[in-house]
Amino acid sequence: MNSAKTGTLSGFIVWIIACGLISSCLTPAAMMIGGFTSVSDFAIQRMGALICPENTTPDVRTYATTTTDENGNRQPSTAYVLQCKNASGDVVMEDPVGYAFLWMGILVAIGLLLSVGLAFVFAAPACVLIARVMSRRRNSS
């Protein structure tokens, strides 16, 4: 392999490693943020625009329910449902789960795009650092 091909290949490998490391931090953070914000008014309005039929308004309904903990005991919980209401206030459609998955998926995709961009930013300095370390190693041998 000539020097240009070797440099390109090693740069690509460094970029892949940088992208993996950065995305391993940003993806869980995006999922956590998505979980916390999935019932916010901003998220409901954005997801309602994608999910609800035309001429309906998105709203959220909460109700008390129970969940089962890791020991099998039932615990009180609050559930959230996206409701699409027409002009008279009647519920046209309900979506208890899909809107939250879609919201979290969008945030994870944004996190992955940020990871790709940051990997481009940090891959070049990482390649320079690796080249310097390798040249010092060769010179000392």
**Domain membership flag for residue 13:** no
> How many Å apart are CA 68 and CA 50, to the nearest integer?
31
Residue 46 near residue 112 (C-beta atoms within 8 A): no
Whether 11 is covered by a domain: the verdict is no
Q: Is residue 141 part of a domain?
A: no
Can you read off the two tokens belonging to residue 21?
A: 């490391």
Residue 85 within any structural domain of the chain: yes
CA gap 46, 40 in Å, rounded: 10
Asked whether residue 139 is domain-assigned, the answer is no
Residue-level pLDDT at 4? 59
Number of separate domains in the chain:
1
pTM of the model: 0.78
User: Does any domain span residue 89?
Assistant: yes
Domain assignment of residue 124, yes or no: no
In a domain, 132, yes or no: no
Give the per-residue pLDDT at 62. 92
Q: Indicate the helix (H) or strand (E) that contains 1.
A: none
b vs e for 94-119, b when ≥16 Cβ sit within 10 Å of the residue's Cβ?
A: ebeeebbebbbebbbeebbebbeebb
Query: Which structural domain range is residue 32 located in?
Result: 27-114
Task: Tally Cβ neighbours within 10 Å of residue 10.
Answer: 14
* pLDDT at residue 135, as a whole number: 74
Local confidence pLDDT in tens for the 141 residues of the chain: 556 566 677 778 888 888 899 999 999 999 999 999 998 999 999 999 999 999 999 999 999 999 999 999 999 999 999 999 999 999 999 998 899 999 999 999 999 999 999 988 887 777 777 777 777 777 776
